[in-house]
Amino acid sequence: MTHNEDRTHWLKEGLIGLGVGVLYGTTSVTVGHPLDTIKTKMQAQAGFERGGAFKTLLKVLRTQGIVGLYRGCIPPLWGSGIFRSTQFAVFEAVYTFMDNPFGKYELPMTGGLQVRVCVAGACGSTARAIIECPLELAKIRRQTGQSWQFSGIYKGFGVTWCRTMGLMCTYFILVDSTRRHFPDVFKRPLLGPFLTSGVAATLAWWIVWPLENMKSQVQGNYGKDMSTWQRIKFNMKERGGFWGLYRGLGPGTARSFLANGTSMIVMVNAQKKVSEWGLRG
């Protein structure tokens, strides 16, 4: 579903997705990590509770320099390649495996959305969350100037899984919808994949942003004694009402659009190369 190439066996599609997904993941981190750092500090580090993205950027540059924007990039740089390649590998394998009447059944009142898109999205999301949670913990602790230990590496898994399920299922559904209703989009070598992935990922992030906010705080030990409900009330009371749940959305949106759009260009072209080299034969 994430490419226009002729499909082969489901297992081979999964392995190809695993390979090209590494390129997607590493590109995403390289492009988006500075903006992700600003977002995380706004959400989860004491001393950055006030002010917007620009003030946070200036404070990081003043106190840590440019290097501060890439603090904590090592875990997600190699980890992102792993969990994003896994999410695409599992999605493509399940999506191709369900090339049958049940998988192709179109859910009522969804404009043609097939069962296999939802099932593959859920499977890919779960696989990603299992791998991503420890890596996100290490990244957030480094971004906020804290140490971390292997004990408790699955801290915040529940909120991470919920966030990832909503994020990736929405993403795959939006990409699928774009491909069905605008079939020529992916034929455009640069703009089509960039806009499709960038817009789909950004809209998905907007939907799950309160969960991303909660995840950053839980893994960053911000208000560590708070319950989920207390954390929600704290964010709404101390950070500007309802929009306190969306703190960091500005840099997060910019990161999502640029990183996911650029990464999809890389992955789509890698899929083409795989076909040209005869690896799908």
pLDDT of residue 205: 93
176 vs 1: which has the higher pLDDT:
176
Distances 111 to 53, 120, 178 between C-alpha atoms, Å = 38, 18, 11
Calpha distance 199→229 (Å, rounded): 31
All domains in the chain, ordered by first residue: 10-272 (1.50.40.10)
- State which amino acid sits at residue 151: S
Torsion, Cα 122 124 129 131, to 10 degrees, reads: 160
User: 112 in helix, strand or coil?
Assistant: coil
pLDDT of residue 47: 64
For the chain, what is the mean pLDDT? Answer: 84
Q: What is the mean pLDDT of residues 103-128?
A: 96
Calpha distance 118→93 (Å, rounded): 13
With cut-offs at 50, 70 and 90, classify the pLDDT of residue 56. Answer: confident
Spatial contact of 250 and 54, defined as CB atoms under 8 Å apart = no
The lowest-confidence range among 12-21, 74-83, 164-173 is 74-83
Nearest to 137 by CA among 90, 79, 82, 89: 79
